[in-house]
Amino acid sequence: MEKHKQPALSLSIDQFKEMDALAIQNFSLPIELMMENAGLQLARLVSSNSTRKKNIWIGIGPGNNGGGGLAAARRLSGWGYRVKLDIPDRKLKYLPALQLKRALAAGAEIAPLSKSDLILTMAAPKTELIKFGHGPGLYVADIGIPGDLYEHFGIRQPDFDLSGILKYTDIQT
């Protein structure tokens, strides 16, 4: 009797980069559209879990995920939140650099990361972030990745509802 293999619950960061590339190649999804979707989802989550009186720190990497964080920073700053950006590597790719310019123009500030209460990842949980799921909240946001790509990677597509955001513990069940 063959055992049924359960789908994976997370992707490595390298697999996620490949998923992005396949979404662009196979589905003509522009990276800037996925970046904006990511930013909107992150901004919606943060605004529903914070107040305008608190400082909001967003860790920014040099790649496209960093661009999504910067799109969120722009939105949150525009909505009146105090947004701080921790950017250890200032050699940003083209689109994240453009998003940084937009976020700073909207009022975000560059400042080193302080304590974090919330961690958000896009499309699927990253194996490198799972260790944080039991402390601060780990959330997964829908950025428009088609179900076929989840299947390609042997991962179960999160059952996003209308909010487009799921807590990691909800994905595990």
Instruction: Please tell me the predicted confidence (pLDDT) of residue 109.
Output: 94
Q: Which domains does the chain have, with CATH numbers?
A: 31-172 (3.40.50.10260)
Instruction: Please tell me the predicted confidence (pLDDT) of residue 49.
Output: 84
Coil, strand, or helix at residue 80?
A: coil
% of the chain at pLDDT higher than 90: 34
Give the phi and the psi of residue 47 in degrees, each rounded to 5: -65, -25
Identify any residues that bridge with 155 across adjacent strands, giving them in sequence order.
8
Q: Tell me the pLDDT tens digit for each residue of 104-152.
A: 999 999 988 766 555 575 555 555 555 544 445 667 778 888 889 988 9
Identify any residues that bridge with 119 across adjacent strands, giving them in sequence order.
138
Identify any residues that bridge with 140 across adjacent strands, giving them in sequence order.
121, 166
**pLDDT band at residue 5, thresholds of 50, 70 and 90?**
very low
Rounded distance between C-alpha atoms, residue 80 and residue 87, angstroms: 21
Q: Name which residue leads in pLDDT, 69 or 13.
A: 69
